[in-house]
Each structure stands twice: as C-alpha cells, then as structure tokens.
Amino acid sequence: MKRVLAMAAVLAFCASAWAEAPPDASPMGTVKVASAGLSVTITGPKNVNTGNAEEVSLPIGQEVKLPPASYNATSVALLAHDAQKNLWVLSSTKTLGRLGSLLVTAGQTTTVEGGAPLEVKATVKINSGSATGAQASGYGTPNVPGMSYANTGGSGSSTSEQKAASSKYGAKNQGAQGKTVTVLIKFVGRAGEEYSPNVQRGKSPGPAPTIRILDDKNNVLAQGTYSCGTTGGGTGAYTGGYAGGNIPSVGGMPGGYGNVRVTEGYTWRVPANFKGQFRVEVISTMPFPYKQDTATNTIN
C-alpha cells in the first residue's frame, strides 16, 4: 500500500511540474538596421495558414525578432530631413545589391547596413549620327522626344565656362549628323544597392540633378538638367504612395508636360571638332552625401 501511495505521489508531482512548465518557444534571430535613414522591407517564408509571404518593414535603428529563415528584400529607400524639415525619399531600383537577401540565424543578430555615402554611377553611350530627343540643340533642357530646344543650360542661360568651350570647340557649328553622348545615372549605396535619381521632397518631386560634361582640364563643355523619366498627365501622373511602415504615403504628384512622355537621361550634342577625354559630373541638392564618378570617356 505504501509503495502504491509513493508511486501515485511521484506521478502527481511529475504531472504538476509538466503543467507548470512553459511551452517550448521556437528559437528566434535578431535583425537590426544600423544605417541612418535606411528603410528596408522584406518578405520571408510563406505563412502556413494563408500560403502568402508576409512583408515586414524593418524599423530604423531598432532590433526585430524574426524566425530563422532566408528573407528577401522587396523595397529599399533612403530617408532624410533637410533644414526646413522636409522629408526626402530616395527609392531603390530593382538592383538591391547585398540587401537583396538576408539570412536570419537563431540566437544571432543580423546587421543591415547600406545607404549613404552614395556613389554616382554614370552610364555613358557615345552615339554616331543625328541627335534625337534629349537636348538636340546643345545644352540643358529635359529629354522630350520630338522637341528641340535652344542652348538654355540648366539655369536658363549658358555659363561662362560653356561659352568658352563653345568658342573653343565650335559648338555653334555642330552638324545635324554629329555625335551625341547619352548619360544615365544612378546613385549606389554602400551595400551595392542602386537608387533612382527621381527623388521625392515632401509631397512633391524633388529637383532633378544637374549634369555637367567636363573635359580633361575640367572645362565645362555642357550643362543641363537631368530628366528623371516621368510621364506627364497634368492631373497627377503619380497616384500611389510608398509602401512600408517607415515611409508616409505620397500621392497626386502632377506631371509637368501634359501628355508628353519624358525619357530618362541627359544627352550632349558633341561639338563637331571636339576630340579627347570627358567625364560626367552630377550636382544634386538632395540631403544625402555622395561621391562623383571619376571615370573618363574618350571621343576620337
């Protein structure tokens, strides 16, 4: 009888201990965005109940607990305020570099770094034959197919450097069949992620960058406004906002060219007698620090 009572007491104790023990928690990993102003939205494994991959917006500068898994970034943006408290947003392209995938490991912290200081990446194409579209008449002005402009420059007039270069290289005598140089730019973050130059300031598009073409002695051969590739509509070519918990919704940005599509880029019509090296310089007023592309190109 005593043996039976002792066994019952042991079973009761074990049952009580099991009932009071907390359920086993799945091990978690930690993710922290350590770069100032870097907004990252990721998706992980599919939810077992819905079958859909859920998006997670990583808070800037804070740690987030996540189940161990491989996650893919769906969007990246840079945020910063200027002296007037305007929020600037620089959105990524589809090229996300090392931010494209994140591996979360149980019991460890994955640190996410990228963003500024940025580097300018200029893609230059030298075209033979007649100029079409952007800046077909020389300097400045957005790239609007089917339209041509006078040599207005980025601020509405040619600079003294441009006038000197025009005199030296005979810009006034350019033939319709001369060479043109097409420039496309991106800003590249520290993780290799690329950002479009189409920056947002508050609820409106921010100012487009200014492009300068410099010769090997840093003389300004041409200067004008970069076209960020928007489509005008007059009633709000952009109607959506930015996704993600760190970026406010922005909508209703009006287009500036009626129903004309504006092609991205900047085109320089090369003076007929210019030969030699040149490079591209980008001037932007956005509050994100950046470094110039120092690569040179040659026209023979």
For the chain, the domains span: 29-112, 118-190+202-229+264-299
Has residue 47 got a pLDDT over 60?
yes
**pLDDT value, residue 165:** 54
244 within 8 A of 39, measured Cβ to Cβ: yes
Let me know the angle formed at the C-alpha of 165 by 164 and 168, rounded to the nearest 5 degrees: 90
- Alpha-carbon distances of 35 from 79, 216, 256, rounded to whole Å: 11, 36, 34
Return the percentage of the chain with pLDDT > 90, whole number.
57
Read off the amino acid at residue 32.
K
Q: What is the pLDDT of residues 288-298, one digit of tens each?
A: 999 999 999 99
221 within 8 A of 278, measured Cβ to Cβ: yes
**pLDDT value, residue 54:** 85
**pLDDT value, residue 109:** 96
Q: What is the pLDDT of residues 123-133, one digit of tens each?
A: 999 998 654 44
Has residue 205 got a pLDDT over 50?
yes
**pLDDT value, residue 33:** 96
Q: In whole angstroms, give the CA distance from residue 161 to residue 266.
A: 19
Q: In whole angstroms, give the CA distance from residue 162 to residue 168.
A: 10
**pLDDT value, residue 261:** 55
Q: In whole angstroms, give the CA distance from residue 204 to residue 195.
A: 18
Give this prediction's pTM: 0.70
Residue whose structure tokens are 């690329």: 194
Residue whose structure tokens are 């009633």: 235
Q: What is the mean pLDDT of residues 220-224?
A: 97
Q: What is the pLDDT of residues 253-266, one digit of tens each?
A: 333 334 445 689 99
267 within 8 A of 181, measured Cβ to Cβ: yes
Has residue 229 got a pLDDT over 80?
no
Has residue 184 got a pLDDT over 60?
yes
